[in-house]
């Protein structure tokens, strides 16, 4: 990484959920949008098992061969770097993961920084555990939390088995996220290999 490379600080918030589920990460401006996708997956603990898309203004950035949108051109996310979109501080854009559950992540550029002698991407703060994959979107997540929060609920045992244990709503493991980020390039390579399979 050259010394002239700036660092974007991004606050990424899951839309429509209270209390707020968010992660703030720092990532180099010369990373691709595929790499930003990977960073979001790691920061939230998503399983990368669904399609996704970025929306910046009128542009859609994603996997062009999985273009879900008729009569629409998706910019290939492996070919465009963050700085190429001209993002400035306070700019906002969206990342949608899983078109069924429709997890809308609102992303704001909170700061543009000079790099320090550390690893990037890096998670600097966050709050709350993400919803389970395939729980049915925001409304399914509310039902899930209600059931898991009441051991006497008739669906409690079934839901606990489905989830694979108890759900800790406040779980946010910044240190674990950053351990993964220290191996970021390897994780990205593995994700790219999965695409080629």
Average pLDDT in the 153-169 region? 96
pLDDT tens track for 114-158: 999 999 999 999 999 999 999 999 999 999 999 999 999 999 999
DSSP 127-178: ESPPPPTTS-HHHHHHHHHHHHT-TTSTTHHHHHHHHTS---TT---HHHHH
pLDDT score recorded for residue 73: 82
My answer on whether 27 and 100 are in the same domain is: yes
Check whether 2 has a pLDDT greater than 60.
no
Name the β-bridge partners of 76. Answer: 62
Domain assignment of residue 1, yes or no = no
pLDDT band at 89; cut points 50, 70, 90: very high
My answer on whether 175 and 90 are in the same domain is: yes
Please give the helix or strand (H or E) that residue 97 lies within, else none.
strand 92-97
- Side by side, the strands of the sheet bearing 103-113 are 75-76, 59-62, 52-56, 92-97, 103-113, 7-14, 22-28, 122-127
My answer on whether 155 and 179 are in the same domain is: no
My answer on whether 189 and 101 are in the same domain is: yes
pLDDT band at 197; cut points 50, 70, 90: low
My answer on whether 79 and 15 are in the same domain is: yes
My answer on whether 70 and 120 are in the same domain is: yes
pLDDT tens track for 65-79: 665 555 568 899 999
User: Total structural domains in the chain?
Assistant: 2
Domain of residue 81, residue span: 7-129+170-196
What percent of the chain shows pLDDT beyond 70? 94
pLDDT score recorded for residue 72: 63
Domain assignment of residue 2, yes or no = no
Whole-number mean pLDDT of the chain?
Answer: 93
């Amino acid at each position: 990484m050259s010394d002239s490379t700036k660092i974007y600080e991004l606050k990424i918030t899951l839309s429509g959920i209270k209390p707020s589920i968010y992660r703030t990460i720092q990532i180099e401006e010369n990373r691709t949008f595929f790499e930003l996708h990977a960073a979001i997956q790691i920061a939230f603990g998503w399983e990368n098992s669904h399609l996704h898309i970025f929306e910046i203004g009128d542009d859609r950035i994603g996997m062009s061969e999985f273009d879900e949108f008729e009569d629409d051109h998706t910019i290939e996310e492996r070919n465009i770097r963050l700085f190429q979109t001209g993002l400035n501080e306070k700019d906002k854009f969206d990342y949608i993961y899983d078109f069924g559950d429709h997890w809308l992540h609102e992303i704001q550029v909170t700061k543009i920084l000079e790099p320090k002698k550390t690893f990037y991407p890096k998670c600097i703060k966050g709050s709350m555990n993400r919803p389970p994959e395939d729980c049915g979107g925001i409304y399914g997540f509310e039902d899930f939390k209600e059931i898991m929060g009441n051991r006497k609920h008739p669906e409690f045992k079934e839901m606990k088995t489905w989830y694979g244990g108890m759900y800790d709503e406040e779980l946010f493991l910044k240190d674990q996220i950053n351990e993964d980020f220290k191996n970021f390039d390897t994780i990205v390579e593995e994700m790219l290999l999965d695409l080629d399979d």
